[in-house]
Amino acid sequence: MEPTISRSIDVPVDAGTVWSWVTDLPRMGELSPENIGGRWLDGTGPALGARFRGRNRNGALQWWTRVLVVTCEPDRRFAFDVRTPLGSRVSRWEYVLTPTATGCVVTENWYRIGSWVVRKFMGPKVTGRVDRPGYNVESIEHTLAALKARAELRAAA
């Protein structure tokens, strides 16, 4: 399956460090413009099949999602499927970390999946976003820039 949106950025820290950041659910809100954090439901942390609840905000609108980890390769790949609280599949998010001589390349992928009804009616009503793909381009670029800024601060320390 090809991602609907894919963006990459070079960061000056190792893949293990970035892995720890993108799997730290409570602190994800420091990186994302929409996600305000999450919590592991199984107490396991990042693991294949682990579940977590994500929390999101757009202005006054707030919502939560059910999430299932579908790929978990420490320091390499982390992917999860997002579902509505009612269980409808909405999307897949993925982080791919590729080591380089100076750190790593972080690629964030978004896959649009799920029903037409969710995309056309439920999603915009719950999230306030009519153009989800357009917004997600901005969101991914924001998150990657925040990762790079955090990495640069760490590398300079």
Q: Quick one: pLDDT at residue 87? A: 84
Would the pLDDT of 117 be above 90? no
Asked if residues 43 and 56 have their Cβ atoms less than 8 Å apart, the reply is no
Report the candidate in 45, 90, 46 with the shortest Cα–Cα distance to residue 64.
90
Q: Is the pLDDT of residue 120 over 90?
A: no
Of 68, 102, 69, the residue nearest 87 (C-alpha): 68
Q: Which pTM does this prediction carry? A: 0.94
pLDDT computed for residue 140 by the predictor: 98
Q: What residues does each domain of the chain span? A: 5-156
CATH code of 5-156, in short, is 3.30.530.20
The pLDDT of residue 88 is 84
What are the tokens at 20?
């720890």
Average pLDDT over residues 70-81: 97
pLDDT tens-digit series, residues 7-43? 999 999 999 999 999 999 989 999 999 999 999 998 8
Q: What per-residue confidence (pLDDT) applies to 112?
A: 93
Dist. CA 108–CA 98, nearest whole Å: 12
- pLDDT for position 66: 93
- Residue 125: the pLDDT is 87
